[in-house]
Amino acid sequence: MEVVIVPDAKEGGELIAEAMAALLRRKPDALLGVATGSTPLPIYEALANKVAAGAVDASRARICQLDEYVGLPAGHPESYRSVVLREVVAPLGLGADSFMGPDGAAEDLQAACDAYDRALAEAGGVDLQLLGIGTDGHIGFNEPCSSLASRTRIKTLTQRTREDNARFFDSLDEVPHHVITQGIGTILEARHLVLLATGEGKADAVAQTVEGPVSALVPASALQLHPHATVVVDEAAASELKLADYFRATYAAKPEWQGL
Ligand code: F6R
């Protein structure tokens, strides 16, 4: 696992957007897995800026979703489908046909989950999966004690996650209890995992993810099992890392051509 400590969220966004741009230059139709929430927004902004400036052509990129709320009416502005279309797909100049995600409004939700896992495999697998991290260590919406081998399925959000996400809704009552999420096993199949964490509120979860034992109690610790996982953290989110100086020195000495 590579840990990169950046001064702030904007630089983290720039760094990851450049890694995505480099991937698209090598593989123009790469399948990019995106996360929602506040953390990745600087990445999407930086990548859209690169596209607008002509620094990368994203016209053949494909975008796929990590998770989705269950039970929000179609077109709800906070459904993750709406968020990804608004924050990622449209700013990159892509259409909805470049996008795939699980159907949180399906009548048979488990069939929709299975269909999504199949669709990801049929699309050739995810080339680069962006991840955020919950204050309780979740990735996607794999809450603590999710199986490390799990596939896309329905999960129940913890009260803490519902409270963390209430800022996107008018009240806590409106935050759905149930979600569809790519499983940890599904996420681990992506070729490159890139987790961005910013702010002091994530420091404990980051330290447990990077330096703690691999444990279902901290779902993000499953990144330790992946051969190409990159964790990008700002100074605040890095504040509880024991090996912070080692991570800084390692990255400072890394040849630029290697990228992430
Ligand atoms: C959202 C997702 C979640 C978020 C996490 C952090 O698609 O997968 O794991 O990444 O809840 O959210 P923020 O970035 O809003 O702190």
Domain ranges of the chain: 2-254
* Probe target for ligand 1 pocket from 81, 83, 86, 133, with the most ligand atoms within 8 Å of CB: 133
The predicted pLDDT at position 56 comes to 98
Which residue of the set 14, 18, 67, 68 is catalytic? 67
How does DSSP classify residue 12?
H
Identify the pLDDT of residue 90.
97
- Catalytic, 192? Answer no
CA of 141 from ligand 1 middle (Å) equals: 8
Task: Find, among 151, 181, 255, 195, the residue nearest to 1 by Cα.
Answer: 195
Residue 253: strand, helix, or coil: coil
Atom number in ligand 1 closest to CA 35:
7
Helix (H) or strand (E) holding 168: none
Q: What is the DSSP string of 71-124?
A: SPPTT-TTSHHHHHIIIIITTTT--GGGEE---TT-SSHHHHHHHHHHHHHHTT
Note whether 184 and 209 are within 8 A (CB): no
pLDDT at 74: 80
Distance 42 CA to ligand 1 centre (A): 14
pLDDT of residue 52: 97
- How far is the C-alpha of 80 from the C-alpha of 65, rounded, in Å? 8
Q: Judge whether 100 and 65 are in contact, CB under 8 Å.
A: yes
Q: Which top CATH class is 2-254?
A: alpha beta
State if residue 102 touches ligand 1 by the CB under 6 angstroms criterion: no
- Residues 6 or more apart whose CB falls under 8 angstroms from that of 48 comprise 91, 92
Q: What is the pTM of this model?
A: 0.97
Sites in the chain below the pLDDT cut of 50 = none
Q: For residues 255 and 157, what is the distance between their CA atoms, to the nearest angstrom? A: 41
Is 220's C-beta closer than 6 angstroms to any atom of ligand 1? no
Query: What number does the ligand 1 atom closest to the CA of 139 have?
Result: 9
Can you give the pLDDT at residue 224?
98
Closest atom of ligand 1 relative to the 66 alpha carbon:
7
Instruction: Examine the residue annotation and report whether 67 is marked as an active-site residue of this protein.
Output: yes
Q: What is the reported pLDDT for 73? A: 87
Binding site membership of 139 for ligand 1 (Cβ less than 6 Å)? yes
Residue written as tokens 């669709």?
119
Question: Choosing from 103, 127, 136, 234, which is the catalytic residue?
Answer: 136
136 classed as catalytic: yes
* Annotated catalytic residue, options 143, 164, 192, 234: 143
Confidence at residue 260, expressed as pLDDT on a 0 to 100 scale: 94
Q: Taking each helix axis from N to C terminus, what angle separates 41-52 and 9-26, rounded to the nearest 10 degrees?
A: 50
Pocket test for ligand 1, best of 43, 79, 83, 141 (most atoms within 8 A of CB): 141
CA-nearest of 116, 100, 97 to 181 is 116
